[in-house]
Amino acid sequence: MATWSNLSLQDSTSPLMEQLTFFHNHTMLIVILITILVGYLMGSLFFNTNTNRFLLESQGIEIIWTILPAITLIFIALPSLRLLYLLDEVNDPMITLKTIGHQWFWSYEYSDFLQLEFDSYMIPTNELEMSGFRLLDVDNRTMLPMNTQVRILVTAADVLHSWTIPSLGVKIDATPGRLNQTSFLINRPGVFFGQCSEICGANHSFMPIVIESIPTNKFIKWISFYKPK
């Protein structure tokens, strides 16, 4: 989860987020190099007292400042297109989770199992345990097995919402009357937090998302004996 001192991206929890982090670093390196180059040129213009009185136009310079940005954009576009393809791909999911956004809570349905659905509300501050996280913990966490391809179906019952887990690299709109889907794979155990990323009303800030990644055998036991709080 993000903390006060964390100014960069969260640690990745899925191969998809790793690729997003690599692309972010790749693009930021290019942007920094361009900024340094442009800053140097602007500084040299400020402090340069020489003037070329006979320069009306320079075809060579125009060709250079047309080709160099085009090459730079290619270096950004190719990884971006590859990543876009990976984001849209849903390969043989082993488990399906359906998420429904409400004002202002989330409800979950495990479509592969009968009679397994529950609502997930934020725990109020006055009921929060000392080990809990204020405005982030919920009464019913969403359990998912690690190292398993998970497909998530997202919709909303009333207004627009957005189901987001930054460490998974997942952000998908919950639209009333429409079913959106994406997939991800969690490659390590842990508890991962997210929040609704669409301004959906007065309590928009009070509908967090909590994913708990556990080994497959523990997930099967949880499925077998689960009772919502």
Range of the domain at 66: 15-47+58-88
Q: List b or e across 141-158, with b for residues whose CB sees 16 or more CB atoms inside 10 angstroms.
A: bbbbbbebebbbbbbbee
C-alpha triplet 41, 44, 49: angle, nearest 5°: 140
Query: CATH no. for residue 109?
Result: 2.60.40.420
Q: What is the DSSP string of 54-72?
A: T-S--HHHHHHHHHHHHHH
Sheet holding 180-185, edge to edge: 117-120, 105-110, 95-102, 149-156, 180-185
Residue 2 domain-assigned (yes or no): no
Q: How far is CA 222 from the centre of its chain?
A: 27
- Domains in the chain: how many in total? 2
C-alpha to C-alpha distance for 155 and 175, rounded to whole angstroms: 5
Residue 68 domain-assigned (yes or no): yes
User: Same domain for 26 and 107?
Assistant: no
- Nearest one of 144, 152, 207 to 179, comparing CA atoms: 152
- Nearest one of 145, 117, 122, 152 to 212, comparing CA atoms: 145
User: Same domain for 103 and 197?
Assistant: yes
pLDDT in tens, the chain (229 residues): 667 777 778 888 888 888 889 999 999 999 999 999 999 988 888 888 777 776 777 777 888 889 999 999 999 999 898 888 877 767 778 888 999 999 889 999 988 776 788 899 999 888 888 888 888 889 888 999 998 889 999 999 989 999 999 988 889 999 999 999 888 889 999 999 999 998 988 888 899 999 999 998 898 888 887 656 5
Residue 3 domain-assigned (yes or no): no
C-alpha to C-alpha distance for 229 and 119, rounded to whole angstroms: 9
